[in-house]
A and B are shown apart, each in its own frame.
Chain A
């Protein structure tokens, strides 16, 4: 018995140290965002004892352009998520429910999935040229269009999985009662998959919010930049305002953490595109 408790104790100790190693760096950024400069550069580092200030937050979001980047990030994430959900959900419905040749269905599904597998840098060059020709460089619209495209395969695969899990009979009953196909989709099927739809939406928001490479390539002006690009532009400068950077980082991170916790139940499924069920 004593040996067993000892083992349990060691296990918890191990888990706890892994957890601390995981979260300490995030906490460190949080402290830097709240510290005055004297405390930021203190050696040895001040983990707990410093007098907190919000000056870096007001500096970043009121005096500098981070408020604008934040707004752009929100607009781009919300619009692209909405478009991808609408377009992708109806396609998923067609793949899950409507009659078409089985081979075509399979081919189409895999093709949709495969478009997500390219390394993004491969399409970055031609898409940059395309947006340049369309005169859409440095616009939010260009990012909304691109992120809709990125999220689309994801939405189709996730929603297809959710649709397949609902028994056909429920819709068929509604259709026998005189509903049309799309009527049954709207009144019967969609309410049943609503949690899955919400989880998919949250994943899309996270993906759009975090995206960096295309935002970097396509937006260079303050008016069109997303928060990650705005932050990156400052980090690679010579004189770095660490407090401002950290404040912006904390703001970029918070909504994502809230969202991620909200979809924990679907996390495995979302991350593996439905390949592993959590």
Chain B
């Protein structure tokens, strides 16, 4: 954990070997290509996006304007997409965290076949999201999908379960698919965190006569906090930008029911060629992502220095 934020302390200390004078020049030479590539592929595009978002083209004339940002406030589709994204992120994050934590605690003890379970549970997370999309289109297909087929086998009437094509169930479906795919990620990070906790606090708690729940609440959770925050941070950022699975499963539909911000931005830019407005919306997404990650990192740093 400490490596994440404090790793720099150990470095830059210099070398005791002679011939260090040319080190600095060599350092810049070796860092040059990386800095160049990242500048060309992320800083320059970002600046370009800012200028795109501040320009309006009408009648062949391009002029500077804040109109793209003004339009955001009154665009009901944008506001709906924002709402969908937040609902999706909050619900999926909560479910993935709780399930992942439960699984990690369950597998933390030395039990037979642990590495087998661990390897099996990791499969969904590694799959290309496009493949996840196909898998769940097959599973959730109302006519021949395995889910409805199995429910029918139990004698249920599945006519109402149209999953991804029903306005009411579509959001539920894409959340369920995300939970299926990404709970393993939470589980993996939290399991690693659990295994890094030393034995002594548990022995102390045992001597104090704490019961299992008290030990979990007052020993495990506080010591697991850094791993929890990293897992939540990384997941939150991925959830807010969700695109692939939704694109394959519902294309934002039916109607607009599952349109997320990334999808709406994609459509605005690449179907309607309104690059300026798409750029403006993407900055809202960037802003939200930054605020939330700054919030997590602040808690993380407070924890580390305290």
Contact = CB atoms under 8 A, between A and B. Distances in A.
A125 B49 contact: yes
B262 to A, nearest CB: 5
Interface stretch (B30-38, B62-70, B72-80): B30-38
A126 B46 contact: yes
A43 B144 contact: yes
A95 B285 CA distance: 31
A124 to B, nearest CB: 7
A29 B285 CA distance: 34
B69 to A, nearest CB: 15
A50 to B, nearest CB: 13
B227 interface: yes
A274 B4 contact: yes
Contact of A231 (B33, B130, B149): B130
Given A123-B49, A126-B52, A43 B149 contact: yes
B265 interface: yes
Contacts of A28: 135, 138-139, 146
B8 interface: yes
A6 interface: no
Contact of A105 (B12, B42, B122): B12
B259 to A, nearest CB: 13
A245 B11 CA distance: 50
Given A14-B106, A121-B285, A181-B26, A99 B269 contact: no
Contacts of B286: 118-119, 122
B242 to A, nearest CB: 10
B138 A176 contact: no
Contacts of A26: 123-124, 127, 135
Interface centre among A11, A90, A119 (most CB of B within 10 A): A119
A1 interface: no
Interface residues of B, number: 105
Contacts of A182: 26
Contact of B248 (A15, A22, A127, A236): A236
Interface string B1-36: 101100110111011110110011011101101110
A34 interface: no
A22 B275 contact: no
B188 interface: yes
Interface stretch (B90-98, B199-207, B213-221, B276-284): B276-284
Given A23-B123, A26-B124, A276-B230, A115 B42 contact: yes
Contacts of A149: 37-38, 40-42
Given A119-B286, A175-B17, A109 B41 contact: no
B209 interface: no
Interface in A8-42: 11-12, 14-15, 18-19, 21-26, 28-29, 32, 40-42
A212 B48 contact: no
B117 interface: yes
B248 A126 contact: no
10 contacts: A41-B143, A93-B30, A97-B15, A98-B30, A101-B12, A115-B38, A129-B48, A149-B40, A210-B128, A232-B133
Interface of A: 11-12, 14-15, 18-19, 21-26, 28-29, 32, 40-45, 87-88, 90-91, 93-102, 105-106, 108-109, 111-112, 115, 117-130, 145-146, 148-149, 152-153, 156, 160-161, 164, 168, 172, 175-176, 181-182, 206, 209-210, 212-213, 216-217, 227-228, 231-232, 235-236, 242, 245-246, 249, 252-253, 256-257, 260-261, 264, 267-268, 271-278
Q: Lowest 4 A-B CB distances belong to which pairs?
A: A149-B41, A126-B45, A119-B241, A45-B149
Interface of B: 1, 3-4, 7-8, 10-12, 14-17, 19-20, 23-24, 26-28, 30-31, 33-35, 37-38, 40-46, 48-49, 52, 103, 106-107, 111, 117-124, 126-131, 133-139, 143-146, 149-150, 152-153, 180, 184-185, 188-189, 192-193, 196, 226-227, 230-231, 234, 237, 240-241, 243-244, 247-248, 251, 261-262, 265-266, 269-270, 275, 278-279, 282-283, 285-286, 289, 293
